[in-house]
């Protein structure tokens, strides 16, 4: 939950950049820093560009582009293979837009949930692989969020980084309710097994009341 809270902040930071016409294009865990007091920073904007411009318009520092960026521009495949979107892997920078960053954010979410990059072999599978396929403990709800963010077709992804942040926030807010419902269901089963246990019945009433308060 702590990392996912930072992830929401990363999404908001990227959404802020998008609102000003800038896309990052190299979103990955290594480019996110969490400070001692909980501050969250999105780093390394070296591949960023203004939406509507070409990569030839990227700024030149001290008269020459950094060697890695020069190679990337020549190859037209910009980003980090273990995390990049299909349109980055295909070498079609003219298709890069806000949804390219949404894919990168989904890849970061995948890493949070599994501890590994979504493309360890630097290749995209023919269909989206969700974090639940790599880690069976991942909840179905957050798995679906990651899958949508990492859809192969940009049109199938969340329309914005802000929409992805909203989805994760809703999931986070709903988790305590899911847990409380599970506790109530377990107590219902226990009271059916031990109908004369007054302590269980009292605990069930208390937990049902707690659930009602949470839902309210």
- Residues identified as active-site: 26
Angle of CA points 147, 133, 5, to nearest 5°: 55
d(CA 156, CA 186): 38
Helix (H, G, I), strand (E, B) or coil at 23: strand
Tokens of 141: 């709800």
Element (H, E) at 22: strand 22-23
Identify which of 65, 43, 63, 40 has the alpha carbon closest to the alpha carbon of residue 55.
65
């Amino acid at each position: 939950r702590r990392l996912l809270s930072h992830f929401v902040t990363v999404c908001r930071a990227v959404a802020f950049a998008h609102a000003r016409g800038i896309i990052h294009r190299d979103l990955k865990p290594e480019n996110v820093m969490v400070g001692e007091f909980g501050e969250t920073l999105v780093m390394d904007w070296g591949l960023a560009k203004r939406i509507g411009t070409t990569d030839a318009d990227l700024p030149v520092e001290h008269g020459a582009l950094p060697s890695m960026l020069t190679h990337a521009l020549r190859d037209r495949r910009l980003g980090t293979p273990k995390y990049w979107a299909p349109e980055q892997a295909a070498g079609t920078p003219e298709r890069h837009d806000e949804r390219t960053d949404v894919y990168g954010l989904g890849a970061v979410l995948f890493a949070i949930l599994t501890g590994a990059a979504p493309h360890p072999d630097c290749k995209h599978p023919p269909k989206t692989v969700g974090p639940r396929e790599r880690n069976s403990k991942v909840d179905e709800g957050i798995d679906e969020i990651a899958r949508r963010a990492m859809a192969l077709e940009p049109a199938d992804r969340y329309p914005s980084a802000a929409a992805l942040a909203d989805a994760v926030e809703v999931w986070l807010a709903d988790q305590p309710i899911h847990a409380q419902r599970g506790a109530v269901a377990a107590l219902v089963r226990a009271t059916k097994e031990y109908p004369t246990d007054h302590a269980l019945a009292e605990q069930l009433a208390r937990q049902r009341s707690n659930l009602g308060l949470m839902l309210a």
